[in-house]
Structure 1
């Protein structure tokens, strides 16, 4: 079984214009960091012309599907019957994208099959994490 899950999703950028632009994004879940999810937007989909990656907790994504969640740089909330809004807050502004809730649920189910919720600590490599934190001095 692979230790990494990747799933492409279609995100719809919310803008002031009435038409929402669809852009590709990829969700990542890695056994090496079992608490986190990454959402990556490819270079052509960003204003800077460079790939942009946001990392946030798996719990935040799971909670935000059913009720507003998050107070920091990433916030997640349901929108209507079949969409979830992810808000990414940065110094440059706020990016809001809609993703089909069913795609997020499928991704979270695959992640839970790899690492059950509540069992993340069994997959942590504390020695490696401590060494990284101390700059390899451990």
Structure 2
């Protein structure tokens, strides 16, 4: 099985106008960084006109589909039937997107199949990470 999982999802971008815009986004999980999920938004969906990627814990995503989770830059909570809201807080403002909970559950099932919850530490290469951290210290 590949050590990387990617899943394309449709995010409904919630704006201050009544119009809701659907933008593509990609969820990304790499077994070599077992605690982290990345969500990338393409250039047309961002203020900067460049791809923007947010990183957050897979535990935050798993918790947030059933109950409100997060107190920092990324917050996740259930929203009505079959939807999950993700909020991304930055100095420029807050972006809020609605996602299908079924898509998030499917992604998390694949992630947990690759690295079971509670076993993430077994996939860390601490020797390599420590070497990289100390490489420029001498």
TM tier, smaller: over 0.9
What residue number does 1:20 align with?
Answer: 20
Residues 1-138 of structure 1 mapped to structure 2, 5 A cutoff:
1-135=1-135
Partner SS state of residue 111, structure 2: helix
1:45 Cα offset (Å): 1.5
Describe the SS at the equivalent of 2:65. helix
Q: Per-residue displacement from partner, 1:20-74 (whole Å, max 9, x unpaired)?
A: 1000000000011000000000112111100000000000000000000000000
What's the TM-score, normalizing by structure 2? 0.96
Q: Name the CA distance, whole Å, in 1 between partners of 2:116 and 2:36.
A: 13
Gaps of 5+ in 1: none
How far apart are residue 133 of structure 1 and its match?
A: 2.2
**8 Å CA contact retained: 1:11, 1:24:** yes
The number of equivalent residue pairs is 138
4+ residue segments displaced more than 4 Å: none
Distance (Å, rounded) in 2 between the aligned partners of 1:71 and 1:11: 21
Shift of 1:136: 5.2
Which TM-score applies when normalising by structure 1? 0.96
Q: Return the offset for 1:132.
A: 2.4
**SS in structure 1 of the partner of residue 85 of structure 2:** strand
What is the CA-CA distance between 1:135 and the residue it aligns to?
Answer: 3.6
Distance of aligned partners of 1:135 and 1:86 in 2 relative to their CA distance in 1, 3 Å threshold: farther
Counterpart CA distance in 2 for 1:92 and 1:49 is 14
Q: Aligned-pair distance for 1:16?
A: 1.0
* Structure 2: unaligned runs, 5 residues or longer: none
SS in 2 for 1:66: coil
